[in-house]
DNA sequence: ACACTTTGTGTAAACGGTTACACATAGAGA
DNA sequence: TCTCTATGTGTAACCGTTTACACAAAGTGT
């Protein structure tokens, strides 16, 4: 391994001088600069980030904690984060927590041990975070935490929009799939939907789910059609569960969207490829990741940040699990 | 920040002793051990990985380079890698290269600067790798590279199986979508398919694609049905393109699988949720990631490794874009 | 009693950078 | 000429660990 000392020797200067050209800081004579640059070139030297991090007591690393990258909602999020950080030469230390507090704790600890400059977390449990102010700037993504920097989409409004669209398009007996209550965005969209439904004149019922897996949703879907055969509109917890419901509906011969309308949530890439393609509430996922990264970057640089909480708008994506509505007006 | 010195002071011993208990190495008296442990507990000390890495000249980090985590093939791969590494307390430094040699180069360089113990790469270009033996153990995943440690699925056999299944199920005029030639597994599956097709008595033609995006596949699918209207079987480059073809086929009113059969490749999670659900060649993606991690771990520990190349078997997943075949025999 | 090994601990030198500080020289302003 | 500032460079301490080495005390075998 070639070190700064080798470069210094090659260029016939001290390590301090090499360091100065490396960091482009302090006075360096033009000729010296050239000599050092040549030495660097010749030896193919690249500075050891670890040594830097040690002295500076911070690295160029950011910790990213996700529940599960395998869940199709998250890759896009991660990409938004990465693309933004990458521009500023920060790198990602990455972990899946499976919403498991121990795993989460372990990851955060190693993030900190590696002297990350900041953490972006899309987990809810956040064992460590709940107790004390974390040691480094932390931004929560897609999950809200009291009094913490947060970037998320307006789930409540999304729930409202979904409910309104369903009603507006003629559903009169609606079943709402309620996801696990401890996941804040899921809870929000449920609350929003119920708020609208309660104020409307349609009948509705709620089915509780313990997870957001396709498998559980399949079960619940069967239950749904057995228990509430009159259902003509379904608000799913997310697109994955909507897909399960859609398949079950098709399986038992329901016409979609004529007999039953379905609206999902998230707009994951798969949704447009389902048949019929899934109407859903779109979250600006990539943008969320990007904004979280930008916010974190500001915190790291101790820049002024206007808002502790950034809430992004959602929108209805009309596809083919909802009926067309006659021209507005 | 609490350091090993603080712990040493608190316990009334030297830093060397603390280090010994930390690493559970060398002689430490039972009473001393207890004192140190108590001090650690009391101060809530956790060792600085960066300082460790500097001294050891290697970290507990592994670099993972993917083309694009947003491509549904990769999350599962990444998960396989992570789960395996995580067990041994290694962490992932993660980057998307977009198959862009500059980005890739930049990531590899920062991986190395951060003194990763190893690299797992699922990219094809691998600018740096081509030139010299990389500075750390490196395993290629899903992409083959001459003379390098590699884990991949048997694409050639997959292509053969797909072609055979299509023929066996009655297609007589087959169109093969050929993905970009520089991506080795994609090339392999194409070669495998053509090998079988050429030896069979069915007609077939090839359509070349420049990418594996849904968008391009949509274009090509239109072209396909325009140019080769007699096609009654399609071998797609992967599931994503298969989805595009499937949609186009449905759009123009082809009965699937009665008029046209389609077989994809990969078995990404979405495939079973398409309508009709997609018959495909399944790659053991999670397992591939896992094996790559295991292989890397062995290389890191300088254990004996039996094979430089690990090839995993693929399998046909029969779903509903292929016709049922009468009982075998 | 002696030599030798085992056990237990501390001191200090790394690891590869950054930077405070000292110092030297040159130019500018009086 | 003298002082002051700007420019350019080097020395050495420091970041938080690990570990080679030295040393001492306690067993062990003869």
Task: Identify the pLDDT of residue B145.
Answer: 87
Task: Identify the pLDDT of residue A132.
Answer: 60
Q: Which of residues 238-267 of A touch B (CB under 8 A)?
A: 243, 247, 250
Q: Are residues A278 and A165 in the same domain?
A: yes
Residues of A in Cβ contact (< 8 Å) with B115: 48-50
Task: Identify the pLDDT of residue A329.
Answer: 44
Q: Which residues touch strand D (CB under 7 A)?
A: A 12-17, 20, 26-32, 51, 54-55, 57; B 1, 3-5, 15-16, 19-20, 22-23, 25, 45, 47-48, 51-52, 54-56
Mutate to test the interface with B, among A2, A52, A77, A114 (most CBs of B within 10 A): A114
Calculate the angstrom distance between C1' of D5 and CA of A27. Answer: 14
The DSSP line for A81-123 is: HHHHHHHTT-EEEEEE-TT-HHHHHHHHHHHHHTT-SEEEE--
Task: Identify the pLDDT of residue B265.
Answer: 98
Please give the angle made by the CA atoms of A205, A123 and A139, to the nearest 5 degrees: 120
Q: How many CB atoms lie within 10 A of CB B7?
A: 26
Calculate the angstrom distance between C1' of D29 and CA of B13. Answer: 33
Task: Say if residue A131's pLDDT is above 90.
Answer: no
Closest-approach residue (CA) in chain A for B69: A75
Mean pLDDT, chain A, rounded, equals 94
Give the CA count within 13 Å in the CB-facing half-sphere of A158.
Answer: 31
Q: Does A284 touch chain B (CB under 8 A)?
A: no
B75–A75 C-beta distance less than 8 A: yes
Calculate the angstrom distance between C1' of C6 and CA of B50. Answer: 34
Q: Are residues B133 and B217 in the same domain?
A: no
Question: What does DSSP say about strands B315-317 and B279-282: parallel, antiparallel, or unpaired?
Answer: antiparallel
Q: Does A75 touch chain B (CB under 8 A)?
A: yes
Residue B106: both structure tokens together: 């930049």
Q: Are residues B184 and B216 in the same domain?
A: yes
Dist. CA A90–CA A72, nearest whole Å: 24
Q: Are residues B263 and B166 in the same domain?
A: yes
Q: Are residues A166 and A119 in the same domain?
A: no
B269–A115 C-beta distance less than 8 A: no
Q: Are residues B166 and B251 in the same domain?
A: yes
Query: Domain of A304: which CATH number?
Result: 3.40.50.2300
In a domain, A320, yes or no: no
Dist. CA A254–CA B169, nearest whole Å: 30
Q: Are residues B218 and B236 in the same domain?
A: yes
In a domain, B122, yes or no: yes
Q: Give me the domain span that covers residue A123.
A: 56-153+286-314
CA-nearest of B117, B121, B118 to B78 is B121
User: CB contacts < 8 Å between A and B, how many?
Assistant: 133
Query: Domain of B12: which CATH number?
Result: 1.10.260.40
Dist. CA A176–CA A197, nearest whole Å: 10
Task: Say if residue A328's pLDDT is above 70.
Answer: no
> Residue B113: which nucleotide is closest by CA–C1'?
C16
In a domain, A13, yes or no: no
Closest-approach residue (CA) in chain A for B3: A113
Mapping DSSP to helix (H, G, I), strand (E, B) and coil, where does residue A149 land? Answer: coil
Question: What does DSSP say about strands B61-66 and A118-121: parallel, antiparallel, or unpaired?
Answer: unpaired
* Segment (H or E) for B139: strand B138-141
Q: pLDDT tens across A274-286, in order?
A: 989 999 999 999 9
In a domain, A306, yes or no: yes
Dist. CA B148–CA B129, nearest whole Å: 9
Q: Does A102 touch chain B (CB under 8 A)?
A: no
B275–A250 C-beta distance less than 8 A: yes
In a domain, B197, yes or no: yes
Q: Are residues A172 and A221 in the same domain?
A: yes
Calculate the angstrom distance between C1' of C8 and CA of B64. Answer: 43
Q: Are residues A114 and A64 in the same domain?
A: yes
Total structural domains within chain B: 3
In a domain, B323, yes or no: no
Q: Does B97 touch chain A (CB under 8 A)?
A: no
Closest-approach residue (CA) in chain B for A73: B70
Q: Are residues A66 and A138 in the same domain?
A: yes
What residue ranges of chain B have pLDDT lower than 70? 126-134, 327-329
Task: Identify the pLDDT of residue B329.
Answer: 43
Show which positions of strand C are touched by protein (CB under 7 A).
7-12, 14-21
Calculate the angstrom distance between C1' of C28 and CA of A25. Answer: 25
A50–B115 C-beta distance less than 8 A: yes
Q: Are residues A159 and A258 in the same domain?
A: yes
Q: pLDDT tens across B257-284, in order?
A: 999 999 999 999 999 999 899 999 999 9
Q: pLDDT tens across A157-200, in order?
A: 999 999 999 999 999 999 999 999 999 999 999 999 999 999 99
Q: Are residues B257 and B273 in the same domain?
A: yes
Average pLDDT over residues A218-244: 97
In a domain, B144, yes or no: yes
B113–A49 C-beta distance less than 8 A: yes
Average pLDDT over residues A200-224: 96
B269–A72 C-beta distance less than 8 A: yes
Average pLDDT over residues A107-112: 94
Task: Identify the pLDDT of residue A129.
Answer: 57
CB B257, CB B225: distance < 8 Å: no
Calculate the angstrom distance between C1' of D1 and CA of A24. Answer: 37
Chain A nearest-CA distance from B93, in A, is 5
In a domain, A326, yes or no: no
Closest-approach residue (CA) in chain B for A66: B79
Q: pLDDT tens across B184-232, in order?
A: 999 999 999 999 999 999 999 999 999 999 999 999 999 999 999 999 9
């Amino acid at each position: 391994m070639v070190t700064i000392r080798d470069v210094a020797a090659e260029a016939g200067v001290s390590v301090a001088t090499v360091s100065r050209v490396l960091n482009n800081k302090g006075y360096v004579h033009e000729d010296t600069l050239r000599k050092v640059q040549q030495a660097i070139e010749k030896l193919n030297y690249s500075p050891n980030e670890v040594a830097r991090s040690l002295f500076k007591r911070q690295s160029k690393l950011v910790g990213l904690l996700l529940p599960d990258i395998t869940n199709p909602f998250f890759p896009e999020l991660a990409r938004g984060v990465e693309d933004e950080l990458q521009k500023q030469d920060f790198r990602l230390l990455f972990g899946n927590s499976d919403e498991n507090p121990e795993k989460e704790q372990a990851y955060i600890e190693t993030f900190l041990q590696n002297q990350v400059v900041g953490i972006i977390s899309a987990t809810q449990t956040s064992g460590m975070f709940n107790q004390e102010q974390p040691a480094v700037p932390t931004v929560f993504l897609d999950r809200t935490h009291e009094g913490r920097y947060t970037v998320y989409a307006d789930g409540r409004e999304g729930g409202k929009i979904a409910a309104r669209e369903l009603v507006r398009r003629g559903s009169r007996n609606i079943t709402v799939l309620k996801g696990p209550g401890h996941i804040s965005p899921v809870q929000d969209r449920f609350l929003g939907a119920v708020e609208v439904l309660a104020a409307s004149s349609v009948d509705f019922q709620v089915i509780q789910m313990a997870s957001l897996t396709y498998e559980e949703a399949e079960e619940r879907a069967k239950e749904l059609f057995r228990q509430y055969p009159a259902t003509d509109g379904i608000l799913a917890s997310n697109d994955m569960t909507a897909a399960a419901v859609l398949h079950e509906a098709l399986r038992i011969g329901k016409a979609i969207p004529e007999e039953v309308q379905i609206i999902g949530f998230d707009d994951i890439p798969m949704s447009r490829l389902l048949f019929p393609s899934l109407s859903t509430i779109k979250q600006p996922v990539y943008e969320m990741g990007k904004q979280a990264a930008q916010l974190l970057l500001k915190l790291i640089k101790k820049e002024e940040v206007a808002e502790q909480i950034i809430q992004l708008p959602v929108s209805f994506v009309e596809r083919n699990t909802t009926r067309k509505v006659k021209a507005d007006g």
